[in-house]
Amino acid sequence: MIAGAGPDTPLQLSFASVRDGERAVGAGVLVAERLILTCAHVVNSALGRARFSQDTPGPGETVTIRLPHVAAGVDLTARVVREMWTPPRATATGPGPADPGRVPYHGDLAVLELTDAPPPGAEPAPFLQHNYAGETIALWASGNPLPTVRAVPRVSAPPWIALDVLGGTQVTEGFSGGPLWDRERQAVVGLVVAVHRAPEGAGDQPATMYAISVPAIEAELPTLPPSAVPTARRGVQQLLTALERVLKGREAVDCERRLAARLGRASAGPAADLERLVGLAVSVRRGLPELLDVVRDQEPLAPPDPYDLHHRPGPYGAREDWERLRRAARTVRPGEYLTTRQRRDLAGLLAHCTRTDPRALLARVLPHAPELPAVTGLADAVDALEGFGSTTGAPVPPLLQGVVLISVEERAAGPYPADDLDAWVERVAARSGVDEAAISQFRADVTAAAAPAPVTAPGPAATAVRGPALAPRVQVELLPAPTGRRFTYQIWTFADGRPHRLALVRDTEAGSEQVVDDIRRVLRTEVREDPETALVEYFLPCAWLGLDVDAWESPDSDEDGPFAPGITRRVVVRTTERSRESYAGWKQRTAALPHAKRLVLDHRHTDRKVARAQLEVHRDAGTVIVCCPPNHHGTLLRQCVQAGVHTVLWHRADHGEHLAQDLLALVDGADHTEVPEIVRLERAKAMAEPESSTHHGRKLSLLYDAPDHRPPQLAPDAWVLTQP
């Protein structure tokens, strides 16, 4: 049965059900005539093996497949393609198996080859990289449209995408391996791999579904044939016109033959023409960069014209023809700049880069972007930059700017991979028509800007010394259970100039002492605390900002005594609930910091309307002192978050005018970056004076959302890990 025409027809024609006898155990998607992409753990389940089994299935082990929307009830046989078996593993590099319950992990991909041709009507699915606006759907293993899940991508946490489940059926076992389908763009944008569900009794908290991203699939399976893409319409006529100026006569036939070989598609042979060439390029992911590469190799350098005093050697005889062709290609596929090989080479080099923060990279390359893409990891950042065209007057495209910036930062750690990144940029620039002199000048400017400014030491024998390094951060995304006494959490690190790294996940509920013990373990194993003590940041929903996390400590269980982060480390509270509205206020208050005044919210402002009015009147106030009865703290803290205030100081037990004056004096004249250390010292002073029960350092708390680093929200709600 061929699916009728509808919004999900391409999905239905490619959807595969992976079976264990008559039982559906997972799903897959047709990516070539006989190749089906799925998760390795789905194949393991179909073969009756352990879910995370690492051994490659042998040639005698077959998997039963059905294409339910094409030939319902017809069983097909498939075998695992050995060179495309990547079982789940713990790290991006290395063969270590994944730990059950720890996310995200890497790999978990498999390709099955049908032993016979598929039934008539089956077609490979089109693929595109995900975005954060469109709704997606996922079908259950049987392919039945009734148990369908609706979800929206929230954040990329390579190699996975995290999605908020909006509705549909409950996400259970059987969704894994299935295509994540973007209805609006008519493309598969990932492969469903796992789900986090809120535990029983946690209320109506939504589940979070995870999918393996398209870039991760391409990186894990470099020999997988390039995937199809939705049929392009915009810019195709411009592309045909530009190609007519470049290719003459039978050159189009030769280009079509070579492009088909690159893309793993059948050539039309002597019947090929420009329309067939363009149709082939626009139907395959990264087909247009491959087309430009093939056309460039087709045409030799134009010989110099002795009668043209202004001749500049270059491909295609006239440089303007090449530029016109490149512009047309970007019109058709604005997000594709690199060929498949160029992208894979770059991803391999980026895996060795440890000094560059991806968010900071985007901020430097795209300083005027209204909102930066949500990225985690350098590979994700350069994928985002690939979709941005050159700005007016910028001869170096944003993608190449980003790679040059990475190279300059990584060079401080040694010649590798910096030298190879430079060579990659030169090769790609030459094949993309970017002037070599422009690349060299941009690299020189970045290198000069990155040179540390000398700090002159006092005295006659002054020498140039480096400024202090950035203090490391330990970031705890804390997800309280309904009682507020047990927690699940993730701990991230940002240290030694490396990007954010997920250091620990605890998905079974634990008490506060276990949280602090895990923080100490991460500090000991992941952070080199020199020259400053680490900043510990607790990320909490607004409803839980009242938790006294800054006073937590571990039990006195060893010779070191109890570990109290609030005394020996700078501990601050942050919130996971910044909305677009509050973020706009945050940016406005941040810009006003140099001349901002402090604001006190006390017992007169406990009414929400009054508090909000005060914050509206003082829109430049970056630091707020909350000094009211403790039962009103939650209301005022939420108002501060909604208004975009990034620094809030309050005492969890005391209040009154005398306390407000003490706290104002505490931060008077201090830069906002100094406030966490000031608060830490006050807590330590209070602890050092046990006879004084009134020292304001006791139960002093700080909401500090001013830093520019934060972990991606991999799981915004309390969760239980399951494998769908």
Highest mean pLDDT among 202-216, 422-436, 684-698: 422-436
Distance CA 424, CA 145 (A): 46
pLDDT-derived band of residue 370, with 50, 70 and 90 as boundaries? Answer: low
Biggest alpha carbon distance in the chain?
A: 96
Cβ–Cβ under 8 Å, residues 62 and 54: no
Residue found by looking up tokens 């399951």 in the block: 722
Q: Which of 273-282, 306-315, 616-625 has the lowest mean pLDDT?
A: 306-315
pLDDT in tens, 197-232: 655 544 455 578 899 999 899 889 988 988 888 877
- Reduced to 3 states (helix: H, G, I; strand: E, B; else coil), residue 354 is coil
Within a 10 A sphere around the Cβ of 342, how many other Cβ atoms? 19
Q: What is the pLDDT of residue 466?
A: 34
Question: Strand ranges (DSSP E) for 98-198?
Answer: 109-114, 136-139, 148-157, 160-168, 179-182, 187-197
Confidence check: pLDDT of 508 > 90: no
Q: What is the pLDDT of residue 405?
A: 95
Confidence check: pLDDT of 461 > 50: no
pLDDT in tens, 335-366: 888 998 898 899 889 988 988 888 889 888 88
pLDDT in tens, 594-615: 677 889 999 999 999 999 999 9
By DSSP bridging, strand 15-20 and strand 76-86 are unpaired
pLDDT, mean over the chain: 82
Residues with Cβ within 8 Å of 60's Cβ and at least 6 positions away in sequence, in order, are: none
pLDDT-derived band of residue 367, with 50, 70 and 90 as boundaries? Answer: confident
pLDDT-derived band of residue 497, with 50, 70 and 90 as boundaries? Answer: low
Q: What is the pLDDT of residue 390?
A: 61
Token pair listed for 609: 């309307």
Whether the predicted model's global pTM rises above the 0.95 cut: no
Question: Taking CA 93 as the corner, what is the angle to CA 88 and CA 97, rounded to the nearest 5 degrees?
Answer: 30
Confidence check: pLDDT of 696 > 90: no
- Reduced to 3 states (helix: H, G, I; strand: E, B; else coil), residue 326 is helix
Distance CA 640, CA 591 (A): 17
Q: What is the pLDDT of residue 198?
A: 56
% of residues, the chain, pLDDT over 70: 85
669 versus 218: which is more confidently predicted?
A: 218
Q: What is the pLDDT of residue 124?
A: 93
Q: What is the pLDDT of residue 580?
A: 65
Q: What is the pLDDT of residue 13?
A: 94
Looking at residue 572, what DSSP letter applies?
E
Distance CA 24, CA 172 (A): 12
Cβ–Cβ under 8 Å, residues 211 and 104: no
**How distant, in Å, are the alpha carbons of 28, 32, 637 from that of 36?**
6, 7, 52
Task: Return the amino acid letter for 148.
Answer: T
Q: What is the pLDDT of residue 317?
A: 43
Residue found by looking up tokens 């690159």 in the block: 262
Q: What is the pLDDT of residue 314?
A: 43
Confidence check: pLDDT of 118 > 70: yes
570 versus 710: which is more confidently predicted?
A: 570
Q: Which of 151-160, 278-287, 412-421, 449-458 has the lowest mean pLDDT?
A: 449-458
Backbone φ and ψ for 102, nearest 5 degrees, come out as -105, 130
Cβ–Cβ under 8 Å, residues 689 and 17: no
Confidence check: pLDDT of 711 > 70: no
Closest by CA to 165, choosing from 143, 145, 194, 127, is 194
Closest by CA to 718, choosing from 203, 198, 201, is 198
DSSP string, 505-530: EEEEEE-HHHHHHHHHHHHHHH----
Cα dihedral 206, 211, 215, 219, rounded to 10, equals: 140
CA dihedral sign, ordered 366, 644, 536, 158? negative
**How distant, in Å, are the alpha carbons of 269, 496, 569 from that of 519?**
64, 17, 11
Q: What is the pLDDT of residue 428?
A: 92
Token pair listed for 588: 């406005």
Within a 10 A sphere around the Cβ of 682, how many other Cβ atoms? 20
Computed over its alpha carbons, how large is the radius of gyration of the chain?
Answer: 29
Confidence check: pLDDT of 310 > 50: no
Cβ–Cβ under 8 Å, residues 473 and 535: yes
Distance CA 195, CA 72 (A): 28
What value does the mean pLDDT take over residues 367-375?
A: 70
Residue found by looking up tokens 């923060």 in the block: 357
- Reduced to 3 states (helix: H, G, I; strand: E, B; else coil), residue 179 is strand
Cβ–Cβ under 8 Å, residues 227 and 126: yes
